């Protein structure tokens, strides 16, 4: 009995089983070719990229870019293409790419799962239909006669569909479990390669010099309060008087620097600095004020004029 005759004897359920077997066979062939290419090249790619990264990150990036036709190459190239990322961003790039690549490796598993579930059920359905057809033509009066001689043969032929369904399901299950084992192994490879690459990058990141154009908040430049200020106070004019300005540093708050200025002047009779909220100053006035009464106890004739001058001067 050849294959064609067996197929015809199996009944109508053999046609959907044939479609499922072709679908499963195509997925199995495609996945086998996919895994053969990965398993024969990934170890070499990982070793070359990690070895080069320990010496030159630019060359390691180029190697990973040339291997982007492989999942492991795309996994290693994802963080390397970033420009000096933070170590945390570097790790997030590895994790996101690993999830995408592992999901693509599971391609075709849903098809095999459907075949594994449907094939036995279709085979059982063919057997039931064959039994119904074989036993429907038998009457109780025909039992033990030549009319019932063909019933066992019909039952045996109807079981062919069940056997075909089990063969398709078992074959698909074997390759399904094999591909799942490959995916689990790839998880280990990705985790190991990602950890080694992240470790190398963290060592490289610690050696990158930090470039600063301005002090950070809370940092005070050296000798900020030891330099004397030579600029006059706002609103004042210097007309020959000697002015001494001494700055006193105040502890900075959130990166800002405040100075308390003390001004000592010998003559501030007419020109006094403006005291505003933006220029808090402490003025020590050393101007001498004389009484209009002379040493003899008499009031001079121009005492009224002097009193007017004093009132207008503000003292």
Same domain, 199 and 244: no
User: Where would I find the H helices in the chain?
Assistant: 3-9, 14-53, 57-66, 71-80, 87-105, 109-135, 151-206, 303-313
Mark whether 100 and 245 lie in a shared domain.
no
Quick one: which of 20, 42, 28, 71 has its CA closest to 178? 28
> 257 by DSSP, 3-state: which?
strand
> Is-above-0.95 flag for pTM?
no
What percentage of the chain reaches a pLDDT higher than 70? 60
Question: 254 and 185, same structural domain?
Answer: no
170 and 81 share one domain: yes
Q: How many domains does the chain have?
A: 2
Whether residues 75 and 154 fall in one domain: yes
Q: Which helix (H) or strand (E) covers residue 93, if one does?
A: helix 87-105
Q: Find the domain containing 309 and state its range.
A: 221-288+301-315
On whether both 274 and 308 belong to a single domain, the answer is yes
Q: Are residues 255 and 167 in the same domain?
A: no
* Residue 226 belongs to some domain of the structure: yes
Q: Is the pLDDT of residue 247 over 60?
A: no
Q: Are residues 237 and 196 in the same domain?
A: no
Q: Count the helix, strand and coil residues of the chain and give each as a percent rounded to the nearest 5.
A: 60, 10, 35
Question: For 257-263, what is the mean pLDDT?
Answer: 46
Q: 177 forms bridges with which residues in the sheet?
A: none
Q: Are residues 225 and 202 in the same domain?
A: no
- Average pLDDT value over all residues in the chain: 73
Shared domain for 17 and 114, answered yes or no, is yes
The pair of three-digit structure tokens given for residue 315, joined into one six-digit string: 């003292």
Bridging pattern class, strands 281-285 and 256-265: parallel
182 and 158 housed in the same domain = yes
d(CA 216, CA 271): 40
Residues 18 and 62 placed together within one structural domain of the fold: yes
Yes or no: say if 265 and 240 are a contact pair by the CB < 8 Å rule: no
pLDDT in tens, 27-50: 999 999 999 999 988 899 999 999
The pLDDT confidence band at residue 302, using thresholds 50, 70 and 90, is: low
H or E stretch at 36: helix 14-53
269 in any annotated domain? yes
């Amino acid at each position: 009995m050849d294959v064609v005759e067996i197929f015809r004897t199996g009944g109508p359920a053999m046609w959907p089983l044939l479609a499922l077997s072709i679908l499963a066979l195509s997925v199995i062939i495609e996945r086998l070719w996919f895994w053969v290419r990965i398993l024969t090249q990934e170890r070499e790619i990982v070793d070359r990229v990690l070895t080069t990264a320990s010496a030159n990150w630019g060359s390691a990036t180029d190697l990973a870019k040339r291997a982007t036709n492989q999942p492991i190459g795309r996994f290693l190239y994802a963080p390397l293409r970033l420009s000096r990322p933070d170590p945390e961003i570097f790790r997030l790039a590895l994790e996101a790419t690993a999830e995408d690549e592992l999901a693509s490796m599971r391609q075709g598993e849903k098809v095999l799962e459907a075949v594994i579930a449907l094939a036995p059920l279709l085979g059982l359905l063919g057997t039931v239909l064959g039994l119904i057809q074989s036993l429907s033509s038998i009457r109780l009066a025909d039992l033990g006669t030549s009319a019932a001689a063909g019933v066992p043969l019909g039952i045996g032929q109807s079981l062919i569909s069940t056997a075909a369904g089990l063969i398709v399901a078992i074959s698909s299950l074997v390759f399904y479990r094999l591909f799942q084992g490959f995916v689990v192994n790839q998880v280990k490879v990705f985790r190991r390669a990602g950890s080694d690459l992240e470790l190398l990058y963290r060592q490289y990141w610690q050696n990158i010099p930090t470039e600063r154009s301005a002090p950070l908040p809370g940092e005070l430049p050296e000798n900020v309060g030891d330099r004397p200020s030579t600029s006059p106070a706002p609103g004042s004019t210097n007309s020959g008087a000697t002015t001494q300005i001494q700055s006193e540093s105040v502890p900075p708050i959130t990166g800002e620097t405040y100075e308390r200025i003390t001004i000592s002047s010998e003559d501030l009779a007419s020109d006094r600095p403006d005291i505003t909220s933006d220029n808090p100053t402490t003025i020590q006035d050393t101007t001498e004020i004389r009484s209009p009464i002379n040493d003899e106890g008499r009031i001079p004739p121009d005492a009224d004029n002097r009193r007017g001058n004093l009132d207008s001067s503000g003292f």
